[in-house]
């Protein structure tokens, strides 16, 4: 089995999503498997050329390949993650490259679809804009950029509340997460010349039992629970993350958008 990124970091120091992956969690998206599946179903991936930015541990890559695209390329800046996903997509003819999502090195207009999940949230506004611009560059005219990210709600959320949430998330998950409201996500995509065609949301229930049973299945949930029981430091960290998510549950959501590049 390939080594996961941050495999050797202490539970207290690892980024939250990689810690959860080490514990056995495979679905690491804010809106869960259902929102990801709904996003992919709307894209009509069969026979298309797909680029996935920051594919993580490759769960979405598996779902993409089931839809039989003409080609798949995963782009990840972390060599361990790129190698992990290469092992998943290689038997189906897919490949990965180790590169920054804002500078993939892939040819312009080489993709019908560009997909990125739970990665723009972790960027500054400048970083978000750079990655979206790169996605637009990779798309052929008429192609789609699809994202699944962490959102804030409602659209008129008090900015001071949003800032408090961002600070709490940064302390808890060890990533400078910067979620946006739906209107802010749409504005970023529109500013890059893309036309938003669909927006979907789902509760941000990453660490709730019902969501995990739905996303992971009973067997994997029991495995995660066993790993938590055996690792007190990891258990404390996950419980801290869960408390933060519960504290801000009214204002956090999973959000997915599809934006098309004009012909």
The fold adopted by the segment(s) 16-260 is: Rossmann fold (3.40.50)
Q: What pLDDT shows up at residue 17? A: 87
Q: What pLDDT shows up at residue 237? A: 94
Burial of 141 (0-12, 13-18, 19+ CB in 10 A): exposed
Q: What pLDDT shows up at residue 261? A: 98
Are the C-beta atoms of residues 91 and 18 closer than 8 Å to each other? no
Are β-strands 139-152 and 252-260 bridged in parallel, bridged antiparallel, or unpaired?
antiparallel
The CB-side HSE value for 157 (13 A sphere, CA atoms) comes to 24
Q: What pLDDT shows up at residue 6? A: 77
Instruction: Quote the distance between the C-alpha of residue 113 and its chain's center.
Output: 16
Q: What pLDDT shows up at residue 1? A: 46
C-alpha to C-alpha distance for 29 and 114, rounded to whole angstroms: 17
According to DSSP, the residues that pair with 114 across neighbouring strands are 51, 145
Q: What is the mean pLDDT of each run of 10 residues along the chain (263 residues)?
A: 74 89 92 96 96 95 96 95 94 96 97 96 95 98 98 95 93 90 97 97 94 95 95 94 94 98 96
What is the number of other CB atoms lying within 10 angstroms of the CB of residue 179?
26
Q: What pLDDT shows up at residue 126? A: 96
């Amino acid at each position: 089995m390939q080594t996961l990124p941050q495999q050797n970091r202490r539970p207290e120091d690892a980024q939250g999503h990689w810690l959860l992956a080490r514990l056995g969690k495979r679905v690491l998206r804010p809106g869960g498997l259902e929102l990801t599946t709904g996003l992919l179903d709307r894209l009509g991936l069969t026979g298309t050329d797909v680029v996935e930015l920051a594919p993580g541990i490759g769960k979405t890559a598996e779902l993409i390949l089931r839809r039989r695209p003409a080609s798949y390329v995963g782009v990840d800046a972390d060599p361990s993650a790129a190698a992990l996903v290469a092992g998943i997509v290689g038997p189906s003819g897919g490949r990965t490259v180790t590169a920054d999502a804002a500078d993939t090195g892939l040819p312009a207009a080489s993709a019908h679809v560009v997909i990125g999940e739970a990665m723009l949230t972790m960027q500054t506004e400048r970083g978000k804009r750079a990655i979206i611009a790169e996605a637009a560059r990779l798309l052929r005219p008429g192609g789609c950029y699809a994202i699944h990210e962490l959102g804030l709600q409602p659209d008129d959320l008090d900015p001071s509340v949003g800032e408090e949430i961002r600070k709490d998330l940064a302390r808890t998950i060890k990533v400078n997460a910067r979620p946006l409201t739906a209107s802010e996500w749409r504005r970023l995509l529109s500013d890059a010349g893309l036309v938003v065609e669909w927006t979907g949301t789902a509760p941000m229930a990453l660490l709730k039992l019902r969501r995990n049973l739905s996303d992971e299945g009973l067997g994997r949930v029991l495995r995660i629970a066993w790993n938590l029981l055996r690792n007190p430091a990891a258990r404390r960290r996950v419980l801290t993350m869960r408390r933060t998510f519960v504290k801000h549950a009214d204002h956090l959501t999973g959000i997915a958008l599809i934006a098309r590049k004009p012909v």
